[in-house]
Amino acid sequence: MEKAEAPQSLWKNSIFTKMFLSYSISSFGDWFDMTALMILFSYTWHANSFLVALVPISYALPSILLGQLAGVYADRWRKLPVMIATDVIRALLTLALLWAGDPYLALPIMLLRATASIFNTPAQQALLRKTVAEEHLLKASTLIGMVMQIAKVAGPLLGATLIALFSVQICLVINVVSFFISALILVSAGRVPEPGMETAQETAAAKSSVFTAWKDGWSTLFSIRVLYMSFVFYLVGFFTLQMVDSQFGVLLRTLVPDSSSLLGYVIATVGFGMFCVGGVLSSRKNMKSFGWTLTVGCLLTGVSFGGFGKLPIGSAAWVVLLCAFLGGIGVGLTIIGFSFLRQRETPPETMGRITGITNSLTSGVVILGPMVGGLLIGSIGVSSAFWITGCIMFAVGALGVLFQRRIWGGDERS
C-alpha cells in the first residue's frame, strides 16, 4: 500500500486508525497493572525491598539488553504480525501472573512480558513510517507520543483507583482483555502491504547476519547528523529529568506536608501541559525547527524544576501547579519533538533498528537516572537536588540555543 496522499485526512488512513486505536489500548495495558504488581509485592507477598525494587527494573531491563536486537528483527519481519503476536503473548503472560503465587515466579513472567513489549514498539514505529504520508507524520507522531505519555501517567492512577474499589486481580484481568482487544483490532486490518519489503535490496538485507544489520543501524544513525546530534541532546536532557522525576512525592511531602492529594494534581497538571503541546503540534503539518523545539523544551523544563527547588515550605498550590504545567509543556516539546524528528529523518528501511537503539539507551537512563538522583538527594536534600537538576536542564537548553547551527545546522522545515 502506498502512503496516503497529501490532501487526505490522517484519520482516513484505515491502517493508521486501527494501529492508533490498538496502540492506545495496549499502551494503557502496559502500564495499567504496575500499581497492582507493586501492591502484590509489597503487601500481599511482603517481599523485601530488593525484590520490590526489581519490579520497575523488570520493565526496563529487557529493552536495555535486547532492544537493539528487537529493532533488527522489526526491520526484517512483517510489522503487523509482530504487533499481533506481541499483544497475544503479553495477554497470556499477564494471565499467568494471576496464578503466580510469589515474587520469585512473578518476576520471570514480568521479564518475559516486557521482552515481548520491546518487539512491539520498533515494529509499530517502522509500520508508521511506511504507511503514513510525509505530510501527516508530525500529527501521527504527536498522537502516538501523547498516548504513550498519558498511558504512563493515567494507567497506574486508574489502576490504583480500581484496586481501591475492587481488588488487585481486577487490574490484571482488565489488562489481559486490553491486549486481546488490541490484537483483534490489528487482525481486522488484514494483510498490510509494506512498501519496500519485497524489493531485492530488502531481501538481501534479510539474508545478512544479525550483527551486520545491527552495525548498519548504528552506521545509519551516525551518518545522519541531525538525528544523532539530536539524540545525544535528548538523552542528556532525559537523564537529567530522570534524576528527580520519581521524587515529586518526597518534595511535596516536604513543601506541603498537610496536602497529600497535591501529588495527584501535580501529575495531572504535568499531563495536561503535555496534552496541550500535543494538541498544538497535531494541528500543524510540519515542524519548522527541530532545534528550537528541543531547546525550548529543555529551557522550560529547567525553569520548572528550578522553580520546584526554590519553592518555600507552605507554598500556595497554584504556584506548585504552575511549575508542573511549565514542566509538562517542556517535557512534551522535548519528547514529541524528538519522536517526530526520528520519524522524519530515519530511512524507512532502518526505522526498526533506529527505534531499538534509541529505546534501549533511553531505558538505560530510566534506571541509571533515579539511582544518581537518589544519591544526590541523600547528599544535599530534595529541594537542592531539584534546583541543581533544573539548572543543568536550563544549561543544556541554553547550549542548544548558542550552538544550534552546529548541532542541527539549517534545520528549518517548510
Residue where a domain stops, chosen among 207, 234, 252: 207
Specify burial of residue 315 (Cβ count, 10 A radius: 0-12, 13-18, 19+): middle
* Range in 155-164, 171-180, 269-278 the model is least confident about: 155-164
The share of the chain scoring above pLDDT 70, in percent, equals 93
* Same domain, yes or no: 159 and 259: no
Residue 143 lies in a domain: no
At residue 326, the pLDDT reads: 95
* Residue 109: its H or E element: helix 103-131
* Same domain, yes or no: 96 and 38: yes
Residue 146 lies in a domain: no
Query: Mean pLDDT across the stretch 133-149?
Result: 84
At residue 414, the pLDDT reads: 42
* Same domain, yes or no: 198 and 293: no
Q: The pTM is what?
A: 0.85
Residue 311 DSSP symbol: P
Owning domain of residue 24: 9-135+152-207
Cβ-contact 298, 402 below 8 angstroms:
no
Residue where a domain stops, chosen among 207, 232, 251: 207
Residue 43 DSSP symbol: I
At residue 207, the pLDDT reads: 55
Q: How many CB atoms lie within 10 A of CB 391?
A: 15
At residue 142, the pLDDT reads: 86
At residue 219, the pLDDT reads: 94
Take residue 308 and report the three cell numbers written for it. 520546584
Structural domains counted in the chain: 2
* Same domain, yes or no: 183 and 261: no
Cβ contacts of 211 within 8 Å, gap of 6 or more: none
Residue 141 lies in a domain: no
Cβ-contact 282, 338 below 8 angstroms:
no
The domain that contains 60 carries what CATH number?
1.20.1250.20
Take residue 314 and report the three cell numbers written for it. 507552605
Residue with the three cell numbers 489488562: 175
Residue 45 DSSP symbol: S
Binning pLDDT at 50, 70 and 90, where does residue 371 land? confident
* Same domain, yes or no: 178 and 215: no
Cβ-contact 39, 168 below 8 angstroms:
yes
Q: What is the pLDDT of residues 205-217, one digit of tens each?
A: 555 688 899 999 9
* Same domain, yes or no: 274 and 173: no
* Same domain, yes or no: 218 and 109: no
Q: What is the pLDDT of residues 104-138, one digit of tens each?
A: 999 999 999 999 999 998 999 999 988 888 888 88
Report CA-CA distances (Å) from 158 to 75, 161, 166, 266: 35, 5, 12, 16
At residue 410, the pLDDT reads: 58
At residue 198, the pLDDT reads: 54
Cα(368)–Cα(57) distance, integer angstroms: 10
Q: What is the pLDDT of residues 41-84, one digit of tens each?
A: 888 888 887 888 788 888 889 999 999 999 999 998 899 999 99
* Same domain, yes or no: 342 and 247: yes
Cα(52)–Cα(109) distance, integer angstroms: 15
Residue with the three cell numbers 515481548: 116
Q: Please say whether the dihedral angle defined by the alpha carbons of residues 323, 329, 333 and 334, taken in this order, is positive or negative.
A: positive
Q: How many CB atoms lie within 10 A of CB 204?
A: 9
Residue 277 lies in a domain: yes
